[in-house]
Structure 1
Amino acid sequence: MKRLISLVLIAFVSLAFVSCGPKTKEEKLAPELAEDARVQFEKERYEEAIKIYTKLRDWYPFDKLAVEAEFNIAEAHFKMEAYDEAAIAYEEFEKLHPRHESIDYIINQQALCYFNRLDTVDRDQAQAIKAISIFTRLIRQYPESAYVDEAKKKREVCLKSLAGHEMYVGRYYLKNKKYKSALHRFQTVIDAYAGLGYDEEAQKLATQSREKLAEEEAKEAE
């Protein structure tokens, strides 16, 4: 019995000694990980920086450096132009830290993730629509932000893109004698996108569409 107790005590002491022993290279403290990640980030090794920041966040979720890690994960994705991943990371950061001192910057970065992928007017305008929504939120919620003036300019670029798309589709319908659909597109530009450079052309083509539509209706009536 005494021998059994002695063996148990030896095992316990050995386990305690191992657990209190020096940390391995994979068990770095939060400040060490933060410094390693910073070095990789500054060297533009963003993928490696993300890996280290992710370890820091996962291993030390309650350390103040974990918040910095979350922020820099989003920044690293943005630097790599991985805008889908960056947008998700910025959105998650905003949800977790809505009162963060740089929250206006975070929202602006979310918008840029979509703005930076604006396509030509003949293509889908989903990116423009999303960017407008976020820029508008920034302008309304943080009117004193240093990013508001630039956000207004970029929002106008997005609006011009939407107006250009409506004109492009309207011209297509007009060319293919779908006058009602064409008129709807040109009228949308007149009503929703006034002052963006398409007013005169939209009015002209809307008038032309109405005339053609009236001619069609007259022929049908006969």
Structure 2
Amino acid sequence: MKRLLLVCMSALILLLACAGSEPKEEKTAQELVQDGVAFFEEGKYKKAIEEFETLRDWYPFSKYAILAELKIADGYFNLESYADAIFAYEEFEQLHPRNEAVPYVIFRIGRSYFNQIDTIDRDQTNAEKALETYRRLVQQYPTDVYAGMARSDMLACYQSLAGHEYYVGVFYYKNKNYKAAKIRFTSVINNYPDVGFHQPSLTYLANCETWIQSQGQPSANQTD
């Protein structure tokens, strides 16, 4: 009797284990997009990305697949995971170069770089990449609303780049490296004439010329 009871219990445990290991029912593409949008609107971007990635992978030919690709990029952008966002936006543009969302996508690539611009005393690579991306947007889609938004950011990029040149020029000037300082101030005057550093650069440039001449050095521009 005990042996029969043990056999029955073992069979029941095995049955329950098998039932528990059965795969969950897959969501439809519409269910995935609805859940992804809901998570996104709630600010749960990681969960939203998971839903949209599942939709993209399970239903690559669904009418919702393009939306999923775009929302994945937006999710990373909102999480401030800008490297992932840039990769996702660039992939979208490569896969769908004629999609109506491309101007928005290019703008978001630029804004991903723009949001990472550091202070003027730091490396300006992000400012340079943001400016390059915005220029491409303005050239390709000059009348698009996102081109107009890009123009506002471009001014801030110019200010950051000019500020960096000015900062480095002042550094060289204070260290009495007048030739190197002159090159930086000249760059500000020639390349960024209307973004806030023009007048002080003119003053420093004149002082550099005075010091260079007093030291009997040629005033021609030289590289650092």
For Structure 1 versus Structure 2, the TM-score category normalised by the shorter chain is 0.7 to 0.9
Cα deviation code 1:34-87 (max 9, x no counterpart):
112122112211101111111111111122211111000001111111111111
Distance of aligned partners of 1:100 and 1:75 in 2 relative to their CA distance in 1, 3 Å threshold: same
Amino acid at match of 2:137: L
Residue 116 (structure 2) aligns with: 117
Provide the C-alpha distance between the structure 2 equivalents of 1:25 and 1:38, rounded to a whole number of angstroms.
22
Q: Which residue of 1 aligns with 2:78?
A: 79
Q: Which runs of 5+ in 2 are unaligned?
A: 1-21, 218-224
State the AA in 1 paired with 2:214: E
- Aligned residue for 2:177? 178
Cα-to-partner distance string for 1:112-154 (whole Å, 9 max, x where unaligned): 1011122111111111101100111111110110122221111
| Residues 135 and 215 of structure 1: CA distance in aligned 2, closer, same or farther (over 3 Å) | same
Matches within 5 A, 1:1-222: 25-217=24-216
For 1:111, give the aligned amino acid.
Answer: G
> What is the count of residue pairs matched by the alignment?
196
Alpha-carbon distance in 1 for matches of 2:161, 2:41: 38
Structure 1 counterpart SS, 2:143: coil
Aligned to 2:64, what secondary structure does the other structure show? helix
Q: Which moved further from structure 2: 196-205 or 134-143?
A: 196-205
Cα separation, 1, equivalents of 2:70 and 2:167: 40
Instruction: Pick which of 60-69 and 170-179 moved more.
Output: 60-69
The one-letter amino acid of 1:43's match is: E
Alignment correspondent of 2:7? none
Quote how far apart the aligned CAs of 1:217 are: 2.7
Partner SS, residue 122 of structure 2: coil
**TM-score normalized by the length of structure 1:** 0.84
Whole-angstrom distance in 1 between the partners of 2:168 and 2:65: 48
Quick check: 190-199 or 66-75, which moved more? 190-199
Shift, 1:24, TM fit: 5.0
Q: What amino acid sits opposite 1:75 in the alignment?
A: D
**Which residue does the alignment assign to 1:15?**
none
**What is the RMSD computed on CA atoms of the aligned residues?**
1.4
Q: Give the whole-Å Cα distance in 2 for the aligned partners of 1:149 and 1:57.
A: 32
Structure 1 alignment gaps of length 5 or more: 1-22
Distance 2:35 2:194 in 1: 51
Rounded Cα–Cα distance in structure 1 between residues aligned with 2:188 and 2:167 = 11
TM-score (ref. length: structure 2): 0.84
Alpha-carbon distance in structure 1 between the residues aligned to 2:34 and 2:24: 14
Deviation at 1:32, TM superposition (A): 1.6
Aligned to 2:4: none
Q: 1:68-109 CA distances to partner (integer Å, 9 max, x unpaired)?
A: 110000011111111111111111111111111111111111
Distance 2:163 2:109 in 1: 24
Alignment partners' CA distance in 2, 1:40 and 1:194: 47
